[in-house]
Amino acid sequence: MVPKVYAGQEMAVVENENCMMNGKWKKRVHVFGERVMRFPNKAWQTTWKVGREDPRRLIHAFKVGLSLTLVSLLYLLEPLYKGIGQSAIWAVMTVVVVLEFTAGATLCKGLNRGLGTLLAGLLAFLVGYIASASGRVCQAIIIGAAVFSIGALATYMRFIPYIKKNYDYGLVIFLLTFNLIAVSSYRAENVLKIAHDRVYTIAIGCAVCLLMSLLVFPNWSGEDLHNSTVYKLEGLAKSIEACVNEYFYGEIEGSGDMKLSEDPIYKGYKAVLDSKSIDETLALHASWEPRHSRYCHRFPWQQYVKVGAVLRQFGYTVVALHGCLRTEIQTPRSVRAMFKDPCIRLAAEVSKVLIELSNSIRNRRHCSPEILSDHLHEALQDLNTAIKSQPRLFLGPKNRHNQATNMLKIAAEQVGQERHGKTSLSSVKTDSSALLEWKTKRVSVEQTKESERKSLRPQLSKIAITSLEFSEALPFAAFASLLVETVAKLDLVIEEVEELGRLACFKDFIPGDDFVVTCQEPRIDVSQNHLPSHGAD
């Protein structure tokens, strides 16, 4: 029998647990209610932000809705439905899959889809005609063999790099259409009507998509690629100046409490590092777009890809420069102040060159022959002179170096003495117990050595760090060397931009022209405008 005191305690504990559970449920219900109340406002803010970043998104949504309405008339209007029938659904599916954000992407997918459907329909009709001339059994064998051979051959062709890059979607549509028509011809009586209806409705859908993309507020992939290159140059210029300003004026924290996505320096070079696939896709789509320049020549969109590759190499140096702001070991502010002026001047000159390159691409004209001005070389020389004027900061006195070496030797000797003190030789035995004892001690000695290695590592690392007290300017030396590296890589960027101007026939630079040095915020994020559309038919 449970005493009354314990029974009362158990009841109190149960009541407390029930109160805690009720409190948790009330809190969860309250939090859920607050989220439900905030959802409409948050949804509206997100919708407004997406449209404000790029108003073309709203226009594209309007064009898709209008295109779907037009092709739906094939179903809704009775005269059109009697002429086309159930095949009108292919026109609707074509609009959903083909109509992309830019005209180049729509042309690429539309022509791929139309060409793939046309070739598949002709080949399926030919196979069905040959198979129908034979008996029923031979017809099934011929169709099966054609499906196998065509399917295997088309799938293998998708691995060819050039076809995979330009016509992969067309091959997928070719496979799908051929199999549908060829297999259906075994049961259907009029295979020609099936192929005709399929090609006819897809042609209507592709025509609606092309008209909407090319004539109604068109968005050009080439223009997006051109503008993204300009913004990438400006973003790198802003990142370099922001790095130097934060290094000499801001509060540098090695812990890096700030989120990387909120860092303005990271935002400047993020678009450059993530641009490889975007640039290649935009260049491919731009190659399908019509030539609307005055010379009607083939525009060198692949050269933009090369410029993007050089900018990524340049961006890796900016990433390393940004990493110097977040290292655990920092040069004291008093030492950094000695080299502040030449570093700020050098960063300003590098940023000025990048912005001038972006302006030349934006205005489609050649760069100035004197884009690498004397001011840049003077800033480099001033930085070199400032570093040479303080040799002790980077080399340090010799006695401290010897002291650090002696400290390392003393630490190693201490660990060695401890190791020899712990291991002692025992008397020699000849029986089996001696062999077993020898094996056991060997294992224990190896374990002891391993533990000593692990204990020695932190001791040596601490001594090594304290021995580097004489080299307070070493972190700054890494920062300065990366800053000079950006100057060295400017030549590669200038060469690719000049090659772009030559291939694209940019207008010549007039000596009287003045560059307007501006650095604008990127108006749009090009990568967010291209929706993945892999709809199945």
d(CA 117, CA 178): 8
Amino acid 332: pLDDT: 83
Cβ neighbors of 85 (< 8 A, separation 6 or more) are 197
Amino acid 375: pLDDT: 82
Query: Which backbone phi and psi does 303 adopt, to 5 degrees?
Result: -70, -30
d(CA 34, CA 31): 5
Length in residues, the chain: 537
Query: Which backbone phi and psi does 515 adopt, to 5 degrees?
Result: -80, 130
Query: Which backbone phi and psi does 397 adopt, to 5 degrees?
Result: -70, 155
221-250+262-290+297-393+470-520: CATH topology is Methane Monooxygenase Hydroxylase; Chain G, domain 1 (1.20.58)
Tokens at 380, concatenated: 């480099």
d(CA 252, CA 258): 11
372 with 487: CB under 8 angstroms? Answer: no
- Where residue 329 falls (left for φ over 0; alpha for ψ -120 to 50; beta otherwise) is beta
250 with 214: CB under 8 angstroms? Answer: no
Query: Which backbone phi and psi does 285 adopt, to 5 degrees?
Result: -70, -35
Instruction: Tell me how far apart the terminal alpha carbons of the chain are, to the nearest angstrom.
Output: 75
CA-only gyration radius of the chain, Å: 36
330 with 473: CB under 8 angstroms? Answer: no
Candidates 127, 131, 124; CA nearest to 199 is 124
329 with 370: CB under 8 angstroms? Answer: no
Candidates 505, 522, 498; CA nearest to 291 is 505
Amino acid 10: pLDDT: 57
Amino acid 67: pLDDT: 93
* pTM reported for the whole predicted model: 0.74
Q: Where are the domains of the chain?
A: 64-215, 221-250+262-290+297-393+470-520
Tokens at 516, concatenated: 């307007």
139 with 186: CB under 8 angstroms? Answer: yes
Amino acid 317: pLDDT: 93
311 with 233: CB under 8 angstroms? Answer: yes
Q: How far is CA 203 from the centre of its chain?
A: 35
Question: Does residue 507 sit in helix, strand or coil?
Answer: strand
How many other C-beta atoms lie within 10 A of the C-beta of residue 159? Answer: 9
Amino acid 231: pLDDT: 92
Mean pLDDT per block of 10 residues along the chain (537 residues) reads: 51 61 70 74 78 86 93 84 79 90 91 90 86 82 92 94 90 91 78 78 90 91 91 92 88 51 78 89 89 61 93 93 85 84 91 92 86 82 84 58 44 47 40 51 58 50 48 79 91 92 85 53 58 51
Cβ neighbors of 360 (< 8 A, separation 6 or more) are 366, 367, 368, 497, 501, 506, 509, 515
d(CA 188, CA 182): 10
